[in-house]
Amino acid sequence: MRRHSLTRSTAETEISVTLDLDGNGTYDIQTGIGFFDHMLDQLARHSLIDMTVRAKGDLHIDDHHTVEDTGIALGQALAAALGEKRGIQRYGSCLLPMDDALVRAALDLSGRPFLVWSLDMPSAKIGTFDTELVREFFQALSTHGGITLHVDLLHGLNSHHIAEAAFKAVARALREAVATDPRKANAIPSTKGAL
């Protein structure tokens, strides 16, 4: 069973998540931040990871803590659901076009977190959502999920399209990386014998 549920509580947020890596992309997301919910919907749908997220945060201050802490919780749940990572493909990549935007994502479920982020947004806001929080989410996800993650913007004019392309590209890369390798279904994909 490659699924995991957890709750993360701080003075700033209360986050609960459930992930099923062998799902079909079903999602039920409620963070109180409309645009962020839309992005997490894309993450679930395109990764084929079933995802339930409930987040209550200090939105009267801003969206930062809720977005970052949701990334932390999702990363922790992903790492737990993967377990020892036996049989996974481990690597994934995607070159994703969305209208004017073209985003490349490549990742390694190595257990060694590292984020390379080359994605500048043309605007500071998408509606009321701070565009800098897109990076904050992926930083938290990669750190707490043990993911080496590279995200690059190759083209783009519209911040909404760029952000959505980033979430979809990472989702598609995750879909590839968490998939079972039919030729090595019982092996840990590392010469070290552990990830």
pLDDT value at residue 193 = 84
Whether 26 maps to a domain, the answer reads yes
Give the phi and the psi of residue 56 in degrees, each rounded to 5: -125, 120
Q: Is residue 9 assigned to a domain?
A: yes
Q: Which of 152, 178, 179, 37 is nearest to 96 (CA)?
A: 152
* pLDDT at 81 (0 to 100): 98
pLDDT for residue 186: 87
Which residues share a beta bridge with 95?
Answer: 104
In a domain, 22, yes or no: yes
In a domain, 189, yes or no: no
Tell me the CATH number at 164.
3.30.230.40
The C-alpha atoms of residue 156 and residue 98 are separated, in whole angstroms, by 9
For the chain, give the DSSP string. Answer: --EEEEEEE-SSEEEEEEEETTS-S-EEEE-S-HHHHHHHHHHHHHHT-EEEEEEEE-TTT-SHHHHHHHHHHHHHHHHHHHTT-TTB--EEEEEEEETTEEEEEEEE-SS--EEEEE---SSSEETTEETHHHHHHHHHHHHHHT-EEEEEEEE-S-HHHHHHHHHHHHHHHHHHHHSB-TTSTTS-SSTTS--
**Does 93 map to a domain?**
yes
The domain in which residue 69 lies consists of: 3-178
Does any domain span residue 191?
A: no
* Residues of the chain below pLDDT 70: none
Question: Given this model, what pLDDT does residue 178 score?
Answer: 98
Report the 10 Å Cβ neighbour count for 38: 16
Give domain status of residue 190, yes or no.
no
Total tally of structural domains belonging to the chain: 1
Handedness of CA 161, 93, 143, 115 (dihedral sign): negative
pTM over 0.85: yes
> Within a domain: residue 76?
yes
